[in-house]
Amino acid sequence: MQILDGIKLSKEIKQEIKQKVESFKEQGKRVPHLGAILVGNNGASRTYVDNKIKDCNFVGFESSELILPDTISQEELIAEIVKWNNDDSLDGFIVQLPLPKHIDQEVVINTIDPDKDVDGFHPMNFGKMALEMETFLPATPYGIMEMLERYNIDTTGKHTVVIGRSRIVGRPMSILMSKNGNPGNSTVTLTHSKTENLEQYTKEADIVITALGVPGFLKAGMVKDGAVIVDVGITRVDDSTNPRGFILAGDVDFDNVKEKASWITPVPGGVGPMTRAMLLKNTLLAYNRKK
């Protein structure tokens, strides 16, 4: 068993980006600029946005954040997004999800300028991804693909089972793993909460990518020896013995599954850091397009 170390790899990627930004500065050019809009005070979202700002500071990007109350109307939020769409100093920005229930997430995503949609959620970018055109890839699937490539995981001709069909991870992951290239060229089975006998699929899989959000769901008996296991799930589980009062748990029963896996991602420290690094790569792509 070997660890797919997202912390180590993301540091390498951020260092590469930092060197490019330093080159821009030496040439007298402006640096890339990433923005984030946060609605409400969701603790996990606040932490995520704070970490993105830290990442920007490390690589030398300019960063902006707009914190709005969770009582804001949909119309008011749309107006703020339009302002950022028209701000030429911003290369890309995200609207942090989830949003309050009274705001239509689809309307918000569709309002973001596709050329600034560094989360890769806009239908135009999703369609380009499906057609294997250059575009902003959703950051988490992008991070997984980067991880597979840099760790030289052969995916060609392999059977990949994806658990979960969200637009953020599962669906784009299934598209990317089947694309023509390596990583890619995989035969993909997309499973979800309505899949019957899911275990029969995972037992046959060379690669399992799970994004279900159910702690410890994937057991050792559900995977074959030598499988590559990528755990996207991350859930706060109450734990009175932990100083924080909780632990972060993935979808995989890590301690037992690792004994059978050839490669496996830990939680935390696996996919999460890669997601943030890919947001920086998407911002760099937006910057280079404008340049």
pLDDT tens over the chain, length 291 residues: 999 999 999 999 999 999 999 999 999 999 999 999 999 988 778 888 889 999 999 999 999 999 999 999 999 999 999 999 999 999 999 999 999 999 999 999 999 999 999 999 999 999 999 999 999 999 999 999 999 999 999 999 999 999 999 999 999 999 999 999 989 999 999 999 899 999 999 999 999 999 999 999 999 999 999 999 999 998 888 888 888 888 889 999 999 999 999 999 999 999 999 999 999 999 999 999 987
14 in a structural domain? no
- In the set 52, 116, 158, 281, the catalytic residue is 52
Are 46 and 38 in contact, with CB atoms under 8 Å apart? yes
Task: Show the tokens assigned to 56.
Answer: 């920007």
Answer yes or no: 96 catalytic. yes
Task: Show the tokens assigned to 178.
Answer: 């089947």
Are 224 and 204 in contact, with CB atoms under 8 Å apart? yes
Answer yes or no: 52 catalytic. yes
- Note whether 114 and 65 are same-domain residues: yes
- Measure the CA–CA gap between 178 and 174, rounded to whole angstroms: 6
- Note whether 109 and 149 are same-domain residues: no
Q: What is the domain-level CATH number for residue 243?
A: 3.40.50.720
290 in a structural domain? no
- Domain housing 167: 139-271
- Measure the CA–CA gap between 285 and 110, rounded to whole angstroms: 20
- Note whether 144 and 94 are same-domain residues: no
At residue 89, the pLDDT reads: 96
101 in a structural domain? yes
- At which of 118, 153, 173 does a domain end? 118
- Note whether 49 and 107 are same-domain residues: yes
- In the set 91, 113, 117, 119, the catalytic residue is 119
Distant-in-sequence, close-in-space partners of 84: CB < 8 Å, separation ≥ 6? 35, 37, 66, 90, 93, 116
- Note whether 174 and 263 are same-domain residues: yes
Answer yes or no: 255 catalytic. no
8 in a structural domain? no
180 in a structural domain? yes
- Note whether 33 and 155 are same-domain residues: no
Are 170 and 135 in contact, with CB atoms under 8 Å apart? no
Q: Which of 64, 60, 52 is nearest to 30 (CA)?
A: 60
57 in a structural domain? yes
Q: What is the domain-level CATH number for residue 75?
A: 3.40.50.10860
- Note whether 232 and 164 are same-domain residues: yes
- Measure the CA–CA gap between 103 and 121, rounded to whole angstroms: 16
- Note whether 148 and 113 are same-domain residues: no
- At which of 56, 86, 118 does a domain end? 118
266 in a structural domain? yes
10 in a structural domain? no
- In the set 55, 96, 251, 253, the catalytic residue is 96
Number of domains in the chain: 2
For every residue of 146-209, which 3-state class applies, written as one string? Answer: HHHHHCCCCCCCCEEEEECCCCCCHHHHHHHHCCCCCCCCCEEEEECCCCCCHHHHHCCCCEEE
